[in-house]
Amino acid sequence: MQLNAKLLDPRLGSEFPLPARATEGSAGVDLRAMLDAPLTLAPGQRELIPTGLSIHIGDPNWCAMLMPRSGQGHKRGLILGNTIGLIDSDYQGPLMVSLWNRGQQPQTIDVGERIAQMVMVPVGIPEFNWVEDYAEDSVRGAGGYGSSGTT
């Protein structure tokens, strides 16, 4: 899909590669920490980190989601302060990553390091049809929270 975007940090595309997917089959576009200097996050600390770009999706049938990189999350405890960042189709401001060190050790983020990934996701737009009863009872009904067991 085509995506209008602005480079807000001139180091992107010169000193650091443009945002890109790591491989042809990657779902996520890796986003970099466009910091002025390395940043150390203490255990439990989170900071809003600029990615150096903005996007304008435009089409309300799409959104973007910012997600942790699995290696960073699993090995270093670096995930997102909002768990997943949701980027609205009408947002035109700078893309920011709330990076959260949920681990036990301080973690230093290098300038330009790839800290998160952005995935484009289709959005269903609900038009609520408020009813008293559902026409059919589903097999699940109100069962949830482990109701189907573990085996």
The footprint of ligand DUT (CB under 6 A) covers: 66, 82, 85-88, 91, 95-96, 98
Q: Least distance in Å: CB of 46 to ligand DUT?
A: 11
CB-wise, 50 or 103, nearer to ligand DUT?
Answer: 50
Is 133 annotated as ligand-binding?
no
Q: Can you tell me the distance from the alpha carbon of 17 to that of 25, in angstroms, rounded to the nearest whole number?
A: 18
CB-wise, 45 or 98, nearer to ligand DUT?
Answer: 98
CB-wise, 60 or 143, nearer to ligand DUT?
Answer: 60
Q: Least distance in Å: CB of 70 to ligand DUT?
A: 17
Q: Rounded to 5 degrees, what angle do the CA atoms 100, 49, 91 make?
A: 110
Q: Least distance in Å: CB of 119 to ligand DUT?
A: 12
CB-wise, 13 or 93, nearer to ligand DUT?
Answer: 93
Is 82 annotated as ligand-binding?
yes
Q: Least distance in Å: CB of 74 to ligand DUT?
A: 20
Is 88 annotated as ligand-binding?
yes
Length of the chain: 151
Q: Which residues are annotated as a binding site for substrate?
A: 69-71, 82, 86-88
